[in-house]
Structure formats: structure tokens, C-alpha cells
Amino acid sequence: MSVNKAKTESGFSIVELIVTMFIMLAIMGLVMTLYARSLSTKTRESARTDALTAAQAALNVMSREVANSGYGVITNGLMNDSNRDLVHFVSNHVNTNSDLLQPGENVTYFFEPGAQSILRHDANGIVNPDGTTSPQTSIIINRISSVQFRYFDYTGASPLPNPIGGSDTPTANTGRVRITLTVNMENLINQVQNDRVRLTSEVALRNSRYMLRNY
């Protein structure tokens, strides 16, 4: 009687234990993979949101200033050294100094590749105790991969013919500036590689000859 009971209550075999162990390891591996993918997605979306927020704020700052260029001067305010990589403009917003010596009246926005930043250079950014001014350069946004400026010409009530969709340099007829910011996202495991965020702002130069004719 005791012999039969011993046979009935025998435990798992070594093969059964090994199979069970492999099944548990497979389940744990699947759970860890799903968790890592979820964490990677959360990290990517958080970084994307931060990049979008910072880029949009930088675009708003630049767009507001560029749109006001040309006040008190006979041109649209865009200077000849403006190009694809920088925009240099004057805006006599104080309207009391024809020499444009007040802060904010002679500004350049440009991209600094080494610092991955957009810088704002104000030729008269600091007012000294004696009333004179000194230049000031500040960072608008960092962790930017590139910035591009495109210039669109207008005349009368219609844009000038331009089959290439803008120019890398402005003219006296430029009435609109397109600003494009690009942020290359960090590559993450289990996510799309070489992902990027790109924002564009179309800035109408409200004091350009074209815009003044349409008021």
C-alpha cells in the first residue's frame, strides 16, 4: 500500500522542469521587450514634444522681429548680407533715430553649427552708461540641426515669377521670408531611425513696398 502511494506522489521530472523554465524565460523576455519598446516610445515622444515646443518658441521670436523690419526706412529692411544661413535686417521701431542706433533696430539671426544653436546678434543690444551702445549676442535656441531662410519677391499685386520657389538672397522687392527649422532626433532602439522634426514659418514683411500697397 505504501509503495503505490509513493509512486502516485512522485514530483516533476527534470525534463518538465527544464521546459517550464524555458517557457518562463520566454515570457519574461517578451515582457521585457514590450517594456523596453514602451519606454523607448515614451522617450521619443517626450523628446519630440520638447523639440517642437522649443522650435516653435524660437520661430515665434524670429518671425515677430523679421516681420517688423523696414519701419522708418525706404526699403523692406533686409540687408545685402542676408542669405540662406542668416537674416540681417533693420527696423527703426523707435522712429526717432534715423541711424538705427537703438537696441533691436539692427539684428542678425544666424545658425552656429558648432553649438547647434540659433544666435541673435543685436548691433546695439547693450546701452552703456554714457548713452552709447555695444553689440550683444545671445542664444535663441540650442539643439537645432539647421535653419534655412528663403526670400520671396513681390511687385504690384502679384508675386514676381520665380519657378525655383524663392531665392537664397533678398532683393528690394522681397515681401516674404520663409524660416525653416530642423531638429534631428536622437536614434533610439526599436524606433524609426534618422527621425527629424521640421517647422516652417511664412513671415510677411509688413513694411515692405508690396505690403504697404495692400493696406
Mean pLDDT of successive 10-residue stretches along the chain, which has 215 residues: 54 76 81 70 68 82 91 79 94 69 90 89 90 89 86 72 71 90 69 71 84 62
- pLDDT for the residue numbered 206: 83
Give Dmax over CA atoms of the chain in angstroms. 116
- pLDDT for the residue numbered 163: 41
Q: pTM for this structure?
A: 0.72
- pLDDT for the residue numbered 106: 92
Sole residue written with cell 523607448 = 40
Distance CA 69, CA 135 (A): 18
What are the extents of the domains in the chain? 42-213
